Structure 1
Amino acid sequence: MLEKKLEKGLIHIYTGNGKGKTTAAIGQGIRTAGGGFKVLMVQFLKGGDTGEVHSIGKLAPNFEFIRFAAMNKFYFRLTEEEKAEVKKSVLQGLEMIRRCLQDKTYNLIIMDEIMAVLYNHVIEVEVVKSLLLNKPEDIEMILTGRKAPKELIDLADYVTEMTMIKHPFEKGIGARKGIES
């Protein structure tokens, strides 16, 4: 049970095809943790070593980061067996989030790339919708990823769409360590 409580927990969605959704979620998480609140970031479908993962614990010791269904290739390239493993891991992550909501373990829970989970039909939108509808009033939630479904947008209090106007990959510049990874 939490010692410190938020006045009112709202729902944020960071979506769109532009860069910065995860970074914005982490920034809000660091702000929340800096205010003395407990933060959990559950990241789905992302693998690899990124600077943001290393920074979280250094900047905010009350900011926990956990990955489920970590992958280093696109979902559509997975075998059926690999997709089944991804689904199993995603469901474990969602069950952990459900327990954390029920037990009020964190003030802010970030579900990073949950929209990719939904877009790839790993789970149904109703599963995530149920988490949001049943969250305690004093817990904040952030959901990230491209192509947020209308059902979740309708439930959210904040919706920010990141729009790509220009990106270095258009010039053949790949992801750079410390900037995009």
Structure 2
Amino acid sequence: MDKKKVQVYFGKGKGKTTAAVGQCIRAASQGKSVIMIQFLKGKDTDEFSFLLKLEPSIKLFRFEKAHEYYRDLNEEERNEERKNILNGFNFARKVIETGECDVLVLDEILGLIDLDIITVDDIIKLINLKEDYYKLLLTGQNLPEQLVPYMDRISEIVPIKE
């Protein structure tokens, strides 16, 4: 089994999820199993619904139930969605612990830190759960400095012109 590799796509520019999907397709074409868990995307599944055609090589999971984005929800709806998001985070932990896939993508997980749903320490614990999985790929707008030492590859997506 390959050694653990932790990669991140972060920044204010668009394309982080698309870059992660590219990594998923590359891994699947090499015969590796891939799980992508998306956070903070709302229930809008149109953008990446084509990934469903790639099952079982690439499995896509979303735990949120609301159709709106998390930031657009009222306090009561946010509390409910927070539980769903934490279920997704706990599922990610289980995937790593059981070695259920070769590549695990946690799309927009860094945004959970920005929203105080999880902490930097939660991400560090997740990274350190197991040493023998192939790749863990994280995305989000902001990369906390404390996570940098845990990353093997960091790619910043910066808009030059919008």
Q: Same fold (TM over 0.5)?
A: yes
Gaps of 5+ in 1: 168-181
Residue 105 (structure 1) aligned to one of 100, 107, 111? 100
Aligned in 2, Cα 1:134/1:122: closer, same or farther, shift over 3 Å?
A: same
Q: 2:159 is matched with which residue?
A: 164
1:13-24 matches, cutoff 5 A: 13-24=8-19
Answer yes or no: is 1:90 the counterpart of 2:85. Answer: yes
Q: Distance in 2 between matches of 1:161 and 1:64?
A: 25
Gaps of 5+ in 2: none
Amino acid at match of 2:25: I
Q: Distance in 2 between matches of 1:127 and 1:50?
A: 30
Q: Distance in 2 between matches of 1:49 and 1:138?
A: 28
Rg larger in 1 or in 2? 1
Q: Distance in 2 between matches of 1:60 and 1:75?
A: 27
Bigger mean CA offset, 133-142 vs 85-94: 133-142
Q: Taking structure 2 as the reference length, what is the TM-score of the superposition?
A: 0.91
Deviation at 1:61, TM superposition (A): 3.5
Residue 50 (structure 1) aligned to one of 38, 46, 52? 46
Aligned in 2, Cα 1:59/1:69: closer, same or farther, shift over 3 Å?
A: closer
Q: 1:8 is matched with which residue?
A: 3
Q: 1:173 is matched with which residue?
A: none
Answer yes or no: is 1:117 the counterpart of 2:121. Answer: no
Q: Is the 8 A contact 1:13 1:153 kept in 2?
A: no
Per-residue displacement from partner, 1:23-67 (whole Å, max 9, x unpaired)?
A: 00010011001111110000001021333x222233463100001
Amino acid at match of 2:148: I
Q: Distance in 2 between matches of 1:155 and 1:40?
A: 21
Secondary structure of the corresponding residue to residue 42 of structure 1: strand
Aligned in 2, Cα 1:59/1:124: closer, same or farther, shift over 3 Å?
A: same
Residue 124 (structure 2) aligned to one of 129, 139, 143? 129
Q: Distance in 2 between matches of 1:59 and 1:87?
A: 29
Amino acid at match of 2:72: R
Q: 2:34 is matched with which residue?
A: 39
Residue 140 (structure 2) aligned to one of 142, 145, 164? 145
Q: 1:25 is matched with which residue?
A: 20
Give RMSD over aligned pairs.
1.7
Per-residue displacement from partner, 1:132-179 (whole Å, max 9, x unpaired)?
A: 012332331000010111122221000000001112xxxxxxxxxxxx
Matched pairs, number: 161
